[in-house]
Amino acid sequence: MQNSYKRVDAHLSSLGYCTRSEAKKFLSKNMVCIDGVRVFDVREKAYHNDITVENEPLDAENLLILMNKPSGAVCSHNDVGVLIYSLLPQRYQNRNPKISTVGRLDADTTGAILLTDDGELNHKLTSPKSDVLKVYEATLVQPLRGDETEIFASGELMLHGEKKPLLPAKMEIINPTLVRLEICEGRYHQVKRMFGAVGNRVVALHRVSFGDFSVEDLKPSEYKVINFP
């Protein structure tokens, strides 16, 4: 865990409490303390862990957030519609560096998505070498034909336009038009394309978990901050 030493206004602005230019006013209106002693001078220097705002510790220097993404939310900083970041507190939206999603989910896909302002962690989790297990529930337009489980598990399925077969994937049948699929890759629209390759179509897609992080206890749009690894 980081514990940087810098000016109070630098701490507050990087964590989204206020801008550098607003810091003086923020200190006059809010009880900001270093080691329990209120400060009014933005030039005061301190360690992150020694600062409180209204008797609460500063937000973590790096955030890792798990959200149950609702349908319609867009994983983008610059797009039309409901942006996923708008579901977070304004302070989180103001952080520098910005919070970004770890990978993306389509607007109509729901479920587990991680967000972080740690670029190194984001890269690690999205790297093809990461082998992060992802579990999806897919609702299909028509009943399974019966050979999909074997095909997905074979490690031989080729998607259109790809030069390399998919790694084996495990499928659990919940009912003829609802399945749970475990994959450890993150190819473009992978689950939808997998079912397209076997003559079916996904009409609803929900990611239950990303690695060790499950949203089964979170309602749509709910999120929780994860202790940083």
pLDDT tens for each residue of 66-111: 999 999 999 998 888 899 999 999 999 999 999 999 999 999 999 9
pLDDT over 70, % of the chain: 99
Helix (H) or strand (E) holding 113: strand 109-116
DSSP, res 177:
T
Query: What pLDDT score does 165 carry?
Result: 97
Domain ranges of the chain: 5-57, 64-127+215-225, 134-210
**Other residues' Cβ atoms within 10 Å of the Cβ of residue 156:** 10
Phi, psi of 180 (to 5 degrees): -115, 125
64-127+215-225 has which fold? Alpha-Beta Plaits (3.30.70)
Q: Checking DSSP bridges between strand 56-57 and strand 100-101, what pairing results, if any?
A: unpaired
Distance in angstroms (rounded) separating the CA atoms of residues 67 and 223? 4
Q: Catalytic positions, please? A: 106
Specify the CATH architecture of the domain 134-210: 2-Layer Sandwich (3.30)
User: Which CATH class for the 5-57 domain?
Assistant: alpha beta
3-state secondary structure of 175: strand
Do you find a cis peptide bond into 70, omega within 30 degrees of 0?
no
Query: pTM, whole model, 2 decimals?
Result: 0.92
- Fold match between domain 64-127+215-225 and domain 134-210: yes
21-53, pLDDT tens digit by residue? 999 999 999 999 999 999 999 999 999 999 999
